[in-house]
Chain A
Amino acid sequence: MSALSKQSLIDETGFISSKVAFDVSGLTVAYDRKPVLWDVSFQAHSGRITAIVGPNGAGKSTFLKASLGLVPAVTGQTFILGEALKEARKNIAYMPQRASVDWDFPASALDVVMMGLYGRMGFLRWPSQHHREQALSCLDQVDMADFAERQIGQLSGGQQQRVFMARALAQEAEVYLMDEPFAGVDAATENVIFKTLKALTAEGKTVIVVHHDLDTVRKMFDDVLLINRQVIANGPIDDVMSDEALRRTYSGRLGFHKAGEPVGGAAVQAHV
């Protein structure tokens, strides 16, 4: 499979410059001794946008978090552009799910975007006019400049998601890891975020997106990681996203099953 995917990478882009930017190997995560992720290895290439697809409870969000060391892993290593995680923090922009924070927090949209600059700013430095302008231009890229001073709780869900996108942009990273940026947003926001991500890949950045909508995967993404506790497939969408692979991802055979349902026998059918 690996040889196949490299081949098609060359075919699609015409040159072999697309290098491995995000490299996870042997990632195993367990909660309460139950494995959530089992020996997951995954590579994402620069200049490409990858969807992480799998059923609920497949460990998609956990994969992002564990690969960045945000939740403890049993085993596993992450390299970003050849550097170990610790040295590569500045090259990562991670965007958690929108619902993971309290939007009543006393901050404006601009304040939140400024937080994207904190990683590079250093401890004692207070944000300057320059930082403000930088944050404003990031808000502008997602059409949110008019809402810069608005308290974040007064924004719509889609607008909040755009603020998160702007915060990620402010980090000027090489690898962008986004947890469900398209979940529950309006069409305009989906459009803006998609365009922004595409613009990033055009600059040679690497974009990895946890995605829940199977219908749009083919349209929006270059590569896919099919995951259900284990890796089912990873590579260019046209190569790996077969009906058979999807069925294996969404069926119960690989460990994912709802409580009360027998494993294997009456497997959960994929909605494909």
Chain B
Amino acid sequence: MNDFIQLDFPSLLLGTLAALSCGLLGNFLLLRGQALMGDTISHVVLPGIVGGFLLAGSVAALPMMLGALFASLFSVSLIELIKRAGRIEAGAAMGAVFTTMFALGVVLLEQSGARGVHLDVEHALYGNLESALWLEAESFQDLLSFSKLFSLPEDIWVLFFITLLVILFIVVFYKPLMITSFDAAHADSLGISSKWMGLGLVFMTALSAVAAFSAVGSILVIAMFICPPATARMLTDKLSTQLWISGFIAVLSGISGYFLAAFGPFWFGGQDSVSAAGMIALMAGFLQVLAMLFAPRYGVLSRLFFKNRFHNQ
């Protein structure tokens, strides 16, 4: 059991929190037709993270976080600029910016390798959930002890506070987020600025992309942004309910994905565990497929069923 609390619990927490903070924000990205924005930001933060790391010379969270925020705001402005100056559509502008920025990140990353600190390409791409350890813990009772909890890895604390911040952001700005997502022109006519709400959403997306980065890497994070809200959308027609369901789905993917990755192979007689971040993303995708098939109203099967019944009558 000690193994679990020392080795598995911190990774489980990290993966689940990453899924939760990204999954909640993803609802609004999806509703605004900006799913690609999550993808964009999760990629463009890479040069920012590496830049922050190179400047600070260590893997401290703050400089990397600041670098990532700078990189994402810079990229968002760049996308706007390219849209106007280059006269191309938003998707193409995003694609141009995020691949270029990501390439810059990869190039910078090679430079960082020379310094001998662990920030390698593979972890940047796929994350490194398993490296989260809580060696100070001895038993489950430590979960109730503040002094012990403070010894949890920094990554987890950062992600924890950002998840809280995301929830706070959604609760406080629920109405303006909803109205600007549904009808931006109407919101603007009421004096509720769709531009500022959009920027706020991008800012929060950048925050959680950066925080989730160390856990799941910059590629798999996109699954966290899209799958839970897309699954939830199949199951309800009410925004507040959709937010609750997406949160639940995100947590479910995080927990089930981690357990399957860590212990699944042994149940089937295998030797090694598989990538937890990968398995979490797989579970998120799997749950979405389930919802697409079996959702009561929008599922493929129920639509077929009702269509047939309709025809038979």
Contact = CB atoms under 8 A, between A and B. Distances in A.
Contacts of A15: none
Interface in A76-135: 89, 92-96, 100-102, 105-108, 111-112, 115, 118-119, 121, 123-124
Nearest to B181: A105
A102 to B, nearest CB: 7
A207 interface: no
A115 B239 contact: no
B43 interface: no
Contacts of B172: 123-124
B183 A115 contact: yes
A69 to B, nearest CB: 8
Interface residues of B, number: 24
A5 interface: no
B175 A118 contact: yes
A108 B185 contact: no
Contacts of A96: 183, 185-186
A200 to B, nearest CB: 17
A119 B191 contact: yes
Contact of B182 (A70, A112, A119, A123): A112
Given A94-B185, A100-B185, A102-B33, A119 B192 contact: yes
A253 interface: no
A100 B182 CA distance: 10
A65 interface: yes
A68 interface: yes
A100 B189 contact: no
A101 B239 contact: no
Contacts of A106: 31, 233, 236-239, 241-242
B176 interface: yes
Interface in A5-61: none
A196 interface: no
B189 A70 contact: yes
Contacts of B133: none
B178 interface: yes
Nearest to A96: B185
B179 interface: yes
A65 B183 CA distance: 13
B190 A89 contact: yes
A123 B176 contact: yes
Interface string B260-290: 0000000000000000000000000000000
A13 B95 CA distance: 60
A234 B191 CA distance: 29
B237 A151 contact: yes
A90 to B, nearest CB: 8
Contacts of B237: 106-108, 151, 153
B178 to A, nearest CB: 7
A89 B242 CA distance: 31
Interface string B167-179: 0000010011011
B255 to A, nearest CB: 26
A95 B242 CA distance: 27
A89 B237 CA distance: 31
B80 to A, nearest CB: 14
17 contacts: A65-B185, A93-B189, A94-B185, A96-B186, A102-B182, A105-B182, A106-B233, A106-B237, A106-B239, A112-B182, A115-B182, A118-B179, A119-B191, A123-B175, A124-B172, A151-B237, A153-B237
